[in-house]
Amino acid sequence: MLLLWIILILTPLIACSAIPWGGNRLPILMYHKVRPAPADDLNVPLDVFEHQMDALARRGYESISFAGLRAWHRGEGSLPRRPVLLTFDDAYADYETHAAEAMRARGFDGTVFLPVGCIGGENTWDGGGEPLMNWEDVRNATKNGTEFALHSFNHDNYHDLSLEEMRVDLARCMAELDARGIDYQRTLAYPYGGFPRTEPMRSEMKKLFRELGIDFAVRIGSRIERTRPRDLHEMRRVNVQGNDRGIRFLVKLLRGRTRL
């Protein structure tokens, strides 16, 4: 508890001063829904989200894309001094209306992870009832600057799939997107943050990813990633929630989590 309070006191000092946060930091923020509705496990209320985006803008953060990060890894282009990746899982239908608009008003863009087989439908893996983007929405959002990437075909948990099932799943996603002429990144967000944790399965999976050109995969890690991640297929994201207002959000930006 004491440590938490020390952090709470120090964070605004660090955030507001000229003290650098340390080089090579790359916060990857994970969102699902952003809408003017009460906070729940998956929703960050729009006004809270707007405050979070203001906080990023005030501190000089600039959003980047996975395409930009890949290019930089290959020695092309540059990264801003304070890069941030703003990511959205599941492609909820109102992404453009709320999240994208709030980001663009501040010069930011996001990456949306598509459960490809569910596009145009609902969040069936979660009981349904929540409309997802359709293909027209995806095309329009692409034109407006949103980056799209992979979130499996049917929102299956990669922890429970065999290697062959993973291969089929990814091939199906890419074939569908290619056939529809959708511009996307070969970056995967593991549904539920799940993937095999034991060897040799974990290494075999990453070998498969390399074969298929899946150059990045993001998990939930509650840590701040580096611009050159230790493991490109286990990039850690920060789960941003609806109660991450003010100092809680700054603590998350600094540490990736608020718990000790």
Which positions lie near Zn ion, rule CB under 5 A?
89-90, 191
Q: Which is nearer to Zn ion, 55 or 118 (CB)?
A: 118
CB 116 → Zn ion: shortest distance, Å? Answer: 12
CA separation for the pair 103, 65 (Å, rounded): 14
Q: How many CB atoms lie within 10 A of CB 229?
A: 18
Q: Which is nearer to Zn ion, 90 or 94 (CB)?
A: 90
CA separation for the pair 178, 74 (Å, rounded): 24
CB 43 → Zn ion: shortest distance, Å? Answer: 14
Q: Which is nearer to Zn ion, 145 or 194 (CB)?
A: 194
Name the residue among 188, 198, 189, 186 with its Cα closest to residue 239.
189
First to last CA, the chain: 8
Taking the alpha carbons of 229, 230, 235, 241 in that order, is the dihedral positive or negative?
Answer: negative
Q: Which is nearer to Zn ion, 191 or 196 (CB)?
A: 191
Q: By Cβ distance, which residue is nearest to Zn ion?
A: 89
> What number of CA atoms fall less than 13 Å from residue 107's CA on the CB side?
10
CA separation for the pair 66, 74 (Å, rounded): 12
CB 191 → Zn ion: shortest distance, Å? Answer: 5
Q: Which is nearer to Zn ion, 8 or 194 (CB)?
A: 194
CB 188 → Zn ion: shortest distance, Å? Answer: 11
Q: In the chain, how long is the greatest CA-to-CA distance?
A: 56
Six token digits for residue 47: 């006004």
CB 90 → Zn ion: shortest distance, Å? Answer: 4
Name the residue among 184, 166, 196 with its Cα closest to residue 67.
184
Q: Which is nearer to Zn ion, 91 or 250 (CB)?
A: 91
CB 46 → Zn ion: shortest distance, Å? Answer: 20
